[in-house]
Amino acid sequence: MEFSRDLDLLIRSRYPLVYIPTPEEQRAEDAIRGAAQKITPPRQVLMWDFVDGYDIGGGAKEDPLAALEFVRSRPADQSWVFVLRDFHRFLDDVRVGRKLRNLVRTLRSERKTIVLLSPSLKVPPDIAEDVTVLDFPLPTNKEIGAEMEQLLPKDKIKLDANSREALIKACQGLTMTRVRQVLAKAVAIDGVLDESDIALVLEEKKQKIKQTEVLEFYPTSEDLGDIGGLDNLKQWLNLRTSAFSDSARRYGLPNPRGVLLVGIQGTGKSLSAKAIAQHWRLPLLRLDVGRLMGSLVGESEGKAREMVRLAEAMAPAVLWLDELDKAFGGLNGGGGDSGTSTRVLATLITWMQEKTSPVFIVATANNIELLPPELLRKGRFDEIFFVGLPTDRERKEIFEVHLKRVREHSLRTYNLDRLVAVSAGFSGAEIQQAIVEAMHEAFAQQREFTTDDIVTVLRTTVPLSRTAQEHVDRLKAWAASGRARPASREEVKPLLGGGHPEWGPDEWSEQP
């Protein structure tokens, strides 16, 4: 297991302070004991908690300072690992913080390692330099399988090889405690563990993800066909339809890493995130980055790590980082807790750089200026797409998509060309809104809605692109500088009499 190897290395290279954030205390302690035993010479492991003190002798009860003093006073010619449970609660205490820092200095020359074991990650800035955070992984497939067999008598397990694998896969992402609970529940219901219990496990997993409050399972039904325009993006995806298959791996292709979609409001970025997951038939996990940053002070980084681990445990999956710019608004002096944002950003970037698991990231943002440049560097995303205002042809497709949804059989009675002509500068969201508005008008008059109704609404609405002209122009300039690839394909010509200058890609435009 990678965890044991990493811990072994940290202990042997005399890292004095290792922080392991995990809710799985028991499993982690077993793993620490296992790792400590294998080192030569074997490390003696002592556990401390506030209520019971040290597990041998019960010293330093209810006294974190004494617990640290105990570490200091152990003979230096012996080898030790001290596991301090829930110690994050005491780190804000001036005396404890100071004592710990003094201690760290001497520990570097002795074979003593302090392991802080807590359900949450909270490192005060003054000791951040001395602490190494080590993630404790969720149970692997193999461990889950072994646990299943150990937990349940043979005659209760009614699974063939395939359904066994599917059930274990469904358990992925849960802590071992949860796995035990849900398996026990499954058997309690009808006496056996069989294929029908997969649904139960998946439900449990949804619950767990919901509890994180920043990650959610997002139901998807939209496919690429529900997006009007954005042909370059669609082509990019179509080329990668089988990119997550086993045959792609055997061929030697790496898993696609992710895309960043940047553009003004209502142009279909969120819609695209959903369609991408649907296109690959992968579960969509939406990470509320703003909410993640808003977690209790000092907790965001730990949460970010937890979310990343959860996403990996759910792989293959699409992880949607929605409105990424809002989260990093603080970094460039826009206010907010920039220390936290920096650390969360570092966590995310390291992960994006190193991940080999099939977790595809779709990040969406309105404001490129708020995004830290590190994030835009090569190697983080496979591609950065600029999603602009829809072109004539794209608006036609958008009208078609939405009219078809509500009037599939009378679609031909609407004059799409006329609608296109009066909707220059409107976003996809605004077009959809206009149709709904026209429907309300007509419905109130108890008649069918017509092209005229929509035209009237469009004529009396000011699109966002006009009120936010400056922002649109800046985005356009940024995209034109070649740092992003246009999601749309064709060149846009200003509409005669449209009143609003449209704009579009230059570099990559191809002849339609």
Comparison of 12 and 440: residue with beta carbon closer to ligand ATP: 440
Assess contact for 398 and 267: CB atoms under 8 A.
no
Q: Which partner, Mg ion, ligand ATP, none, binds residue 229 by CB below 5 to 8 Å per kind?
A: ligand ATP
User: Shortest Cβ distance from residue 263 to ligand ATP (Å)?
Assistant: 6
Assess contact for 504 and 512: CB atoms under 8 A.
no
Comparison of 46 and 271: residue with beta carbon closer to ligand ATP: 271
Q: How many residues bind Mg ion (CB under 5 A)?
A: 1
Ordered DSSP codes for 393-406:
HHHHHHHHHHHHHH
Residue 232 binds Mg ion (CB under 5 A): no
CA-closest candidate to residue 298, choices 336, 338, 340: 340
Q: Residue from 22, 232, 270, 451 that binds Mg ion (CB under 5 A)?
A: 270
Comparison of 302 and 329: residue with beta carbon closer to Mg ion: 329
Distance CA 10, CA 4 (A): 10
Q: Which partner, Mg ion, ligand ATP, none, binds residue 68 by CB below 5 to 8 Å per kind?
A: none
Distance CA 205, CA 201 (A): 6
Name residue, tokens 């000092």: 298
Distances from the Cα of 270 to the Cα of 222, 420, 483, angstroms: 11, 23, 21
Assess contact for 84 and 51: CB atoms under 8 A.
no
Tell me the window of 92-100, 170-178, 270-278, 374-382 that interacts with Mg ion (CB under 5 A).
270-278
Question: Where do contacts with ligand ATP occur on this chain (CB under 6 A)?
Answer: 227-230, 265-271, 364, 366, 398, 401, 428-429, 432
Tell me the window of 268-276, 311-319, 353-361, 371-379 that interacts with Mg ion (CB under 5 A).
268-276
Distance CA 54, CA 84 (A): 9
Q: Which partner, Mg ion, ligand ATP, none, binds residue 65 by CB below 5 to 8 Å per kind?
A: none
Distance CA 17, CA 34 (A): 18
Comparison of 91 and 214: residue with beta carbon closer to Mg ion: 214
Comparison of 270 and 432: residue with beta carbon closer to Mg ion: 270
User: Shortest Cβ distance from residue 214 to Mg ion (Å)?
Assistant: 17
Residue 272 binds Mg ion (CB under 5 A): no
User: Shortest Cβ distance from residue 229 to ligand ATP (Å)?
Assistant: 5
Comparison of 31 and 262: residue with beta carbon closer to Mg ion: 262
Tell me the window of 10-18, 267-275, 476-484, 503-511 that interacts with Mg ion (CB under 5 A).
267-275
Distances from the Cα of 428 to the Cα of 126, 286, 495, angstroms: 49, 22, 17
Distance CA 450, CA 243 (A): 43
User: Shortest Cβ distance from residue 270 to Mg ion (Å)?
Assistant: 3
Name residue, tokens 């602009």: 388
Cα end-to-end distance, the chain, whole Å: 53
User: Shortest Cβ distance from residue 365 to ligand ATP (Å)?
Assistant: 8
User: Shortest Cβ distance from residue 132 to Mg ion (Å)?
Assistant: 37
Nearest-CB residue for ligand ATP: 428
Q: For residue 58, how many C-alpha atoms fall within 13 Å in the half-sphere facing its CB?
A: 2
User: Shortest Cβ distance from residue 493 to ligand ATP (Å)?
Assistant: 19
User: Shortest Cβ distance from residue 386 to ligand ATP (Å)?
Assistant: 12
Distances from the Cα of 434 to the Cα of 111, 129, 210, 271, 402, angstroms: 71, 55, 34, 18, 11
Comparison of 267 and 341: residue with beta carbon closer to Mg ion: 267
Positions that interact with Mg ion (CB under 5 A): 270
